[in-house]
Amino acid sequence: MNFIFIKNISIAHILFVLGISAIIALSTFSLFFQSIRLDESQSIWLSVKSFFEILNLTAQDVHVPLYGVILHYWMQLFGADIFVARSLSFLFYVATIPALYILARETANKQVAYVTTLFFALSPFILWYSFEARTYSLLTLMATLSHLFFMRMIRSNAENGKAGFFLSLVVGLYTHYFFLLVVFMQAVYVAVLYIQRLLHDLKETSGSKLQQITRLAALQTNTPEKKISLFRYAKHAFVHHKKLILSYAIAVASAFVLFAPWLIYVVSLGSASNTQPLVPAPSTFNLIQTFVLFMFGFQNQEIQSILVSLWPVSIILLFIVFTKRRKLAFKNIEYFALATFLPVALVFLVSYIKPVFLSRYLIFLAPTMFLLLSWTLLSFSKKIRYTALIGYTAISLSLLTIQITSAQTTVKEDYRGVGAYLSSQTDPSDIIGVSAPFTVYPIEYSYTGNSRIDTIPQWNRFKEGQRIPAFSQTELEKQVENYQKQYDELYVVLSYDQGYEDDIRTYLDSRFQLTSTKSFSNGIIVRSYKMNYNPKISIK
């Protein structure tokens, strides 16, 4: 970590780039060659379709279309392969690194910028999604750019950054619905600036001076004094921030005008389909776990529990920093605190009405979190900050290695192994049933056998506008009865429980002979049943 404090910037840059490159190389070797995952298979399936099909299918889902459209043309140029798709996300990740460095340098100094960028690049969580064929690395890039241009607007009173801020809003809104939280948080901050100015004016003109100004204003406008005072200072505060407030409002309004056609199109097609996974309501454990994931990635349950249980230590460290820290400049710290903690609190509360709390949806919080973390660690004395930086780097590298190599990593999905297993075990006289239905995509991507692949419940996904049907016990029985008439054996792939996995397993176990079971990572199980064999028992 000594290179952070080397005065010769050219040497520092060289060592810094070498360090970042080593981290990326470590992750690339493994992540680029891992099995395709569910979300990635859906991205590829969608992006090989025509432009208008992409818009139509995305509008019926829970996403916005920009990433799918970009991936569509990217794969047209370089091929419809998982490695090609992942490379696009990797480019967005690489672009985020200099953007975050500039944001941290303009906010604090080069030391904070170096450490912030290193922590971001070192994060196992960030690296995981930098090699996933999904929209999350693009979302992170757009959030970082939005922070950068918004801060330039704030600090220059809207003299700089307006065009970049507007473009980041438009692209961000078409990247992910959760980008709306960035827009909301920025609106809150503009309101805070206005209120701060109003309170400052009232404080500066308190007492007799305030009374004199109020009385004079009342005489000039022929208005009672009680009605003129607050209005006068509210107006003065607005005039002080007029250019900034109007520029911000115009940029946001213009961005939403461009985003409105998409929202109208989505509403015209109805609500999102059953393609989204079943998301449980979050607990306070999940709230703390989100920030632990950003810092240390996806570990097994034991390691995550230990890391989450250490949250009181963070509180103690923050108390020490804000009471006995060295002076370290940090412009607009309240903005970055809002940007890091307000969105996650809002999503947490909303999830008690409609569960949407997923750590990957909140990845746009990571850049500002690492900025705050870097500033916190560098606020300690020289000896402590060296120890903390080296210790954090060593721990992150160790956990990154565990995340890459461990078979217990919670987000690993060995659909490639499932495809290989089914290819070796099945023949045309067998049928493969996949539940939940949307998991058919990664299995088809890896499967090379000759058996028919169906979904449970049965989903005609090749018919335009056909959504995944709700699970029905009656329909399950009819579906399995049809299998009995045509096939010798049923191979059921169970993953992503949508609330009816136990019903499928119980029905098949009680009616047919279980001939084999095979477990894969992340709870994926393949169970085979004899179809045209004598049934064990009939339950009607």
Encode pLDDT of 349-404 as tens digits.
988 888 888 889 999 999 999 999 998 888 877 887 788 888 888 888 888 888 88
Domain limit, last residue, from 382, 405, 428: 405
Task: Tell me what pLDDT residue 315 has.
Answer: 62
Task: Tell me what pLDDT residue 483 has.
Answer: 92
Q: With bands split at pLDDT 50, 70 and 90, how would you rate the model's confidence at 62?
A: confident
Q: State percent of the chain over pLDDT 70.
A: 79
Residue 483 inside a domain? The answer is: yes
Task: Tell me what pLDDT residue 536 has.
Answer: 45
Cα–Cα distances (Å) from 248 to 54, 171, 513, in that order, read: 32, 16, 66
Q: CB under 8 Å to 5, separation ≥6 — which residues?
A: 111
Residue 71 inside a domain? The answer is: yes
Same structural domain, 366 and 495: no
Same structural domain, 379 and 464: no
Please say if the pLDDT value at position 162 is more than 50: yes
Same structural domain, 262 and 374: yes
**Contact predicate 208/273, CB 8 Å:** no
Cα–Cα distances (Å) from 465 to 37, 49, 167, 461, in that order, read: 24, 14, 33, 8
Please say if the pLDDT value at position 5 is more than 70: no
Task: Tell me what pLDDT residue 532 has.
Answer: 72
Task: Tell me what pLDDT residue 2 has.
Answer: 46
Residue 210 inside a domain? The answer is: no
Q: Which of 441, 321, 442 is nearest to 378 (CA)?
A: 321
Among 128-132, 392-396, 523-527, which is the least confidently predicted range?
392-396
Token couple for 205: 């003109």
Cα–Cα distances (Å) from 432 to 159, 325, 448, 508, 519, in that order, read: 62, 62, 13, 14, 16
Q: What's the chain's average pLDDT?
A: 82
Task: Tell me what pLDDT residue 431 has.
Answer: 94
**Contact predicate 194/239, CB 8 Å:** no
Same structural domain, 328 and 457: no
Please say if the pLDDT value at position 260 is more than 70: yes
Please say if the pLDDT value at position 89 is more than 90: yes
Cα-to-chain-centroid distance, residue 361? 3
Q: With bands split at pLDDT 50, 70 and 90, how would you rate the model's confidence at 463?
A: low
Mark 128-150 as b/e (b = at least 16 C-beta within 10 Å). bbbbbbbbbbbbbbbbbbbbbbb
Higher pLDDT: 320 or 179? It is 179
- Mean pLDDT for 452-472 is 80
Same structural domain, 343 and 487: no
Task: Tell me what pLDDT residue 7 has.
Answer: 46
Task: Tell me what pLDDT residue 6 has.
Answer: 43
Judged on CB neighbours under 10 Å (0-12, 13-18, 19+), 57 is buried
Q: Give the DSSP per-residue string, 104-146.
A: HHHHS-HHHHHHHHHHHHH-HHHHHHHTSSSSHHHHHHHHHHH
Same structural domain, 155 and 268: yes
- Mean pLDDT for 226-232 is 50
Cα–Cα distances (Å) from 503 to 13, 24, 435, 488, 513, in that order, read: 58, 44, 11, 22, 16
Same structural domain, 437 and 395: no
Among 203-217, 288-302, 333-347, which is the least confidently predicted range?
203-217
Please say if the pLDDT value at position 68 is more than 50: yes
Residue 19 inside a domain? The answer is: yes
Domain limit, last residue, from 354, 378, 405: 405
Task: Tell me what pLDDT residue 1 has.
Answer: 45
Residue 399 inside a domain? The answer is: yes
Task: Tell me what pLDDT residue 410 has.
Answer: 76
Identity at 483, one-letter amino acid code: Y
- Range of the structural domain that residue 507 is part of: 415-530
Same structural domain, 335 and 436: no
Q: State percent of the chain over pLDDT 90.
A: 40
Cα-to-chain-centroid distance, residue 211? 52
Give this prediction's pTM.
0.83
Domain limit, last residue, from 370, 405, 440: 405
524: how many CB neighbours lie within 10 A of its CB?
22
Give the angle 171-174-175 at the CA atoms, nearest 5°.
Answer: 85
Same structural domain, 388 and 326: yes
Please say if the pLDDT value at position 259 is more than 70: yes
Q: Count of domains in the chain? A: 2
Task: Tell me what pLDDT residue 319 has.
Answer: 58
Beta bridge pairs of residue 493: 434, 526
Helix (H) or strand (E) holding 431: strand 430-435
Please say if the pLDDT value at position 96 is more than 90: yes
Task: Tell me what pLDDT residue 147 has.
Answer: 97
Same structural domain, 366 and 497: no
Q: With bands split at pLDDT 50, 70 and 90, how would you rate the model's confidence at 538?
A: very low
Q: With bands split at pLDDT 50, 70 and 90, how would you rate the model's confidence at 201?
A: low
Same structural domain, 260 and 338: yes
Higher pLDDT: 135 or 5? It is 135
